[in-house]
Structure 1
Amino acid sequence: MHDLIYGVGALAGWIAFTYKLNHLRQDWTNSALRAMVAAFGFSAVAFTLTVGPVYQPIDAALGVPNLAKLFIHSFMVLFSVCVLQLLAFWQYPAPQARHRARVYWAVGLVVVATMSALIAVAPIHDRSTIHFWKTHAGETLLFWYLVMFLVALSAGLLAIAYRSWHFAGLTARMPWMRRGLRLTALGAVLSFGYCACRGGYLILISADVRVEPLVDIAQPFASLGQIVFFAGLTMPGWGPKTRVDQLSAYRALEPLWSALHDAFPGIALHSAAEGDSAAVGDVNYRLYRRMVEIWDGYLALRPYLPAPAASSGPDEPAASDDAARSIIEGLRNRQEGYEPAVVPPTRPPSVRDSELEWLVDVSRSFARLKARDLDHA
């Protein structure tokens, strides 16, 4: 049963790794995507090494019994580091995300180095055993080795759960990303069930009480949690838009976004001074960000719009040509110093099925009408 449970987790890891590696080949400069692929790779290798028919021959080839366990536990710590790095690139400007990533990696590598030192001097290298926890958890050095592993992994998983759930609340206009982030949070909580069971076992061991079923109960939490994790992190790519469609829509929004951004630079979620926005997240996030900034620019422009357009909200869109003409006139009014009208502040609705398509149509109409105005100037 041990090999079956972890084998399923390994298979899911390699499927997720292969799936996202194909995306990475198309967008190698994407820092968030690189972190995701690395996370999937660390997890897949860790689960694969846990399977007995793989673990035992590797131990034999290394010539140091139980050394493969260090690789398994280290890769799981690094897995959590990579996911935290991924979420940082989704949530923060590129320089801030890189700083956070360096901190995560520094802490993770210190943990791995300390674990390596503890297992190197522990008296466990005379015989190999698949029942590592049940056999060695009661030995002093291995007890603290396992405590450090669980504390590091638990901290990473709980941070991932919190940040994923919190960030999901900021992606209301991207339902597939929102669902994926919430599923990622659920996967982190399920994976934490592994830490809770094994941690409870260590606490009881310290009280000279052995409840070995806790070791076995932890296994399904680990495998199921990782499967849910993989599903959540890949879910944004399952949506109705393909990456080609998303890139096309992202580029189509450029004329409207540029005009509103030039008029109201404050709408930028990440300023140019904070780094290259293309490095923040993948195309799902960049498209979502551009939509948010367009709506914020539209709301800032409302006091300068012609009266009928200013009185209608984004949830009551006009035809794309009419909306584009209103925006052009509003930008002209603002540039010429017209006195802005008093418009009650409102927010656009959080979700509308045709929102992206309508914005793309408006942006294309905006570009066409602006070009026509220049020709007639």
Structure 2
Amino acid sequence: MSDLAAYLGAAVLVALAAYAFAIERRGVRRPIRWAALAFALSEGCSLALLAPGTVALSHAGVDGLSVIALGDTVRTAALSFLMLLACLLTPHPAPRHSPVRQATVAIAVQLGMVLLFVAAQPTLDADDKLIAAPSGRWWLAIRVVLFAAYAVWALVELFLALLPSARIAPTGPLRWGVRLILAAVCVGVVWTLWSYDDFVRVLQVGRLDGSEDTVSNSLGALCATLAVAGALVGKWTETFGAAGRWVRLCRCYFAMGPLWSALHEAMPEIAFPPGGRPLLVGRPAGIEFAVYRRVIEIHDGRLVLRAYQDAAVSDWLSSESRSSDAALVEAATIAIALENMRLGRRSAAGDGIAAEANGEAGPGGAGPGSVGLIPTDLDSEVRWLSQVARAFRRSPVIPALLERLRQEADSDGRQLNRPA
């Protein structure tokens, strides 16, 4: 279980570092991101090096003391990168946040860790525990305290540097990302303070776990998971937003289908030449092209139908239904214009609307049956035409109006055919 937690945390951090490195190579290089990348990579490598399974390789001929020393060195370097990140994130840095001063402190801590390790003269027992020499027990204990103090200092500085961003981040996802990273910092403090038992054990029996125990590795895996989630929550939000937009555009595309089919059946010339199958591309650009092309084709059909619009649509709707929904009025106007076109009936108001569309002063003007487009941008227009298409397909009022129109057409035809 301890190995699983350690290697899982290491894999998560190394994967995050590789992902961040790929992004940095394509974009603008920022010192803050490079510091975070270096911390994630160093911490992930230290988790893997100090895992019990890695230290146990000493039984297969690997120098276990060298593995532990290397793991501690990499882990201390991770703390130095964390301190550098805190310095870069501080808006008004104090003198202690100077990168040069922090680099000096980092080098001093690294040298101190190495010298204390050598002074302790440790050895590995059969259980992969570090056993300090009789004269090196205090040196090993001081080494544990030095690392814990440096880690808590770096984590507190990072917490203080990130805390203002949790309140002033411009968007909700960014705020939640900062909060998750703050939670990871808090877990990191608990993870570091858990080493108090190592200090007590070294002073009592001169023995120290060469690798992290189960609790430490579990806290490390939790810290890594929270840090990765906080770093990626903004990117996930963009991905989910793009997927949600793709779903909405697909829904609008299919919602406009019945209206487009009715117009295309009456006027096949409104359809552009086929341009592939953009719905299967799986990218927002493909579905956007398909949706906007459908919008243009619907509008081309509506322009042709202007000469067949009936000015009495609003009056008919008032008699059939009390609804004054603009989408229903537009849908009814299109449906009646299509029926008039099928019957070959051009209206005087429709001729006036068509003349006005061509820049002429038609006698009928726009007419009460013509409903102008409400939206002013393409996305709003897509939503508007989707509402019109739903009303065109679902409203029970439109079939009643069409039946009334057919009855009037039959009555007019009988009167024309009656002998004088």
TM-score (norm 1): 0.54
Between the aligned partners of 1:80 and 1:113, the Cα distance in structure 2 is: 14
Q: Which runs of 5+ in 2 are unaligned?
A: 243-420
Preserved CA contact (<8 Å) 2:144 2:195: no
After superposition, the Cα gap between the structure-2 partners of 1:209 and 1:103, relative to the gap in structure 1 and judged at 3 Å, is closer
Alpha-carbon distance between aligned partners in 2 of 1:103 and 1:59, rounded to the nearest angstrom: 42
What are the equivalent positions in structure 2 for 1:222-237 lying under 5 Å apart?
222-237=220-235
Aligned partner of 1:89 in structure 2 is 88
CA change 1:103–1:143 in 2 (3 A) is same
Alignment of 1:185-334 (within 5 A): 185-203=182-200, 206=203, 216-240=214-238
**Pairwise CA distance, 1:129:** 5.4
AA in 1 matched with 2:156: L
Structure-2 separation of matches of 1:211 and 1:141: 12
Amino acid at match of 2:79: S
Contact 1:49 1:55 in 2 (8 A): yes
Paired position in structure 2 for 1:16: 16
Question: CA RMSD of the aligned region, Å?
Answer: 3.7
1:56-85, Cα deviation, whole Å (9 max, x unpaired)? 44897775x412222222322222322332
Q: 1:128 to 1:41 in 2, by over 3 A?
A: farther
1:252-293 CA distance string (max 9 Å, x none):
xxxxxxxxxxxxxxxxxxxxxxxxxxxxxxxxxxxxxxxxxx
Shift in alpha-carbon separation, 1:205–1:71, aligned structure 2, 3 A: closer
Mapped contact 1:7–1:48 kept (Cα < 8 A): yes
1:32–1:86 Cα contact (<8 Å) kept: yes
Q: 1:131 to 1:216 in 2, by over 3 A?
A: farther
Give a deviation string over 1:73-105, Cα, whole Å, max 9, x none.
232222232233234334438x99997333222
Q: Deviations over 1:137-158 (max 9, x none)?
A: 9922211111111111121122
Identity %: 15
Distance 1:127 1:210 in 2: 10
How far is the alpha carbon of 1:210 from its aligned partner? Answer: 9.8
Distance of 1:235 and 1:106 partners within structure 2:
34
Query: 2:148: which partner in 1?
Result: 150
Change (3 A) 1:99 1:142: closer
Q: In the TM superposition, what is the alpha-carbon distance from 1:122 to its structure 2 partner?
A: 2.1
Using the size of structure 2 for normalisation, the TM-score is: 0.49
- 1:182/1:232 contact within 8 Å kept: yes
Q: 1:193 to 1:234 in 2, by over 3 A?
A: same
Alignment equivalent of 1:102, drawn from 100, 103, 110: 100
The correspondence for 1:183, drawn from 173, 180, 184, is: 180
Which structure: larger Rg? 2
Q: What are the superposed Cα offsets for residues 175-227 of structure 1, whole Å, 9 maximum, x if unpaired?
A: 22221111111111112222222124424654779999x95433311221122
After superposition, the C-alpha distances for 1:308-364 in whole angstroms (9 at most, x for unaligned) are xxxxxxxxxxxxxxxxxxxxxxxxxxxxxxxxxxxxxxxxxxxxxxxxxxxxxxxxx
Give the partner amino acid of 1:3.
Answer: D
CA distance in 2, matches of 1:57, 1:205: 23
Whole-angstrom distance in 1 between the partners of 2:59 and 2:152: 27
Work out whether residues 187 and 225 of structure 1, in 8 Å CA contact, stay in contact via their aligned partners in 2.
Answer: yes
CA deviations over 1:239-259 (Å, ceiling 9, x no partner): 3279x9xxxxxxxxxxxxxxx
| Structure number with higher relative contact order (C-alpha < 8 Å, ≥ 6 residues apart) | 1
* CA distance 1:177–1:54, change in 2 (3 Å): same
Give the partner amino acid of 2:91. Y
Q: Return closer, same or farther for 1:178/1:97 CA change in 2, 3 Å cut-off.
A: farther
Aligned to 1:366: none
Separation in 2, partners of 1:11, 1:74: 19
Deviations 1:91-135 (A, max 9, x none): 438x99997333222212211110011112322146685334xx5
Which residue is 1:33 aligned to?
33
**Residues 184 and 227, structure 2, Cα contact 8 Å, conserved in 1:** yes
The 1:218–1:54 alpha-carbon spacing in structure 2 relative to 1, beyond 3 Å, is closer
Q: Could you tell me how far apart the structure 2 residues matched to 1:232 and 1:136 are?
A: 40
Name the amino acid aligned to 1:118.
Answer: L
